[in-house]
Amino acid sequence: MLDTILNKLMKTTPLEREQLKNLEFHNDLPIDVYDSALSQKERTPIIGNALFKNKNIYVSKHNRYAEYPTHSHTFLEINYMLRGSCDEVVEGQPVHLEQGDVLLLDVGCKHSVGYLGTNDLLINILFQDKEINLDLLSDLRSSKSVLYDFLINRKMGDDSKLHYLVFGHESQSEVQETLDRIIEEYFLERDFSDTIIVSYLSILIAQLVRNYKIDTQISMSKSQEIAVQLLKEINTNYKDVTLEKLAAKYDYNRNYLSNLFKREVGDTFSNVLTKQRLMKANILITSTNLPVSKIIKEVGIKNRTFFYKKYISLYKVAPSASRKKTLQ
């Protein structure tokens, strides 16, 4: 982050001085940016797309020295803890952010923000891309791995909607760097900044998908832990892994593992392994110029006819059509 931008963000604004006087919230948004009909229906202030006017992306510093009351919005929001820390309540759940943490809020997600002190800088990045939502992010991540497909579905349980995601600062340096570039471009207001910011946003979404991790240790039974371990093996060693090898490696009976896997995952080991191989093949087909015949061998499938049949069944198109689509 450029020092000039950081110093600008650290300066106390007139509204912040007002909030500092009595530690009470002062709204800096005009009334016409709120969706009155939706706010009345949901009984919560809901900020609408009128906020953007001629911009697709809106970046702001969250005002310090007062709690921000519960609200929602008709667009996606990223809260980036640039400096310090803060506490939020998101969909009724407490969320603590440390420096470098990123909170991604979906459309309609209700949240409030606690008191921010002098050294706390929370940056809001708002964008109204109707093609992007948290369901899409989870679908993108799970489309690359049978392990994530299982974990995401398990974490969501009966709730078919993800409302928010937290990305910890420990291993998200590329995400933080991209966010810093977006903030710099926005506040420097140089030529072509809007175009550059939109490009950075596409990169940011891809990086968030790549860095999306799920805790695998949340209240799992012993059999679920074994199933996750087998899925990890499939995810990592899909080319040559077999149930026989894993039974020997973990000292379990092959039939016991097979039945446990089917019960916990909902499909056979063989089918899930094939799906992982097809996912990896799809990545190679859509991102490289390697011949399909070589890709088939690369992912561990020996029968060409079997590959084509299963690929078309999963992706509803032939490999050549998948490749052609990405080139359009």
In whole numbers, what is the pLDDT of the chain averaged over residues?
86
| Residue 286: C-alpha distances to residues 148, 273, 290, 292, 312 (Å) | 20, 20, 10, 11, 15
Q: What is the pLDDT of residue 182?
A: 94
109-160 pLDDT tens trace: 999 999 999 999 999 999 876 545 555 555 555 566 776 666 655 544 444 4
Q: How far apart are the first and last CA of the chain?
A: 36
Average pLDDT, stretch 227-238? 90
**pLDDT reported for residue 327:** 61
Domain boundaries along the sequence of the chain: 3-210, 222-327
Quick: pLDDT tens for 297-316.
999 999 999 999 999 999 89
**35-90 pLDDT per residue, tens:** 999 999 989 999 998 888 777 788 999 999 999 999 999 888 999 999 999 999 99
Which tokens is 183 given?
């903030």
Note every long-range contact of 84-88, with CB atoms under 8 Å and residues 24 or more positions apart, other chains counting: 84/116, 84/117, 84/119, 84/120, 84/121, 85/120, 86/113, 86/114, 86/116, 86/120, 86/122, 87/113, 87/114, 88/112, 88/113, 88/114
Most confident of 80-84, 231-235, 315-319: 80-84
pLDDT tens per residue across span 168-208: 877 668 899 999 999 999 999 899 988 899 889 888 887 88
What is the CATH T-level fold of the domain 3-210, as seen in this structure?
Jelly Rolls (2.60.120)
* Half-sphere exposure at residue 222, Cβ-oriented, CA atoms within 13 angstroms: 1
Largest pairwise CA distance in the chain = 74
**CB proximity list for 129: less than 8 A, separation 6 or greater:** 56, 76, 201
Predicted local distance difference test score (pLDDT) of residue 275: 92
Q: What is the DSSP letter of 96?
A: E
Mean pLDDT, rounded, for 265-272: 92
Per-residue pLDDT at 157: 46
Mean pLDDT of 213-226: 70
pLDDT of residue 290: 93
- Provide the pLDDT for residue 152: 57
What is the model's pLDDT at position 210?
Answer: 76
Contact status, residue 102 vs residue 79, Cβ threshold 8 Å: yes
Q: What is the pLDDT at residue 156?
A: 43
The more confident residue out of 262 and 198 is 262
What is the band of 166 on the pLDDT scale with cuts at 50, 70, 90?
confident
Is domain 222-327 annotated with CATH 1.10.10.60? yes
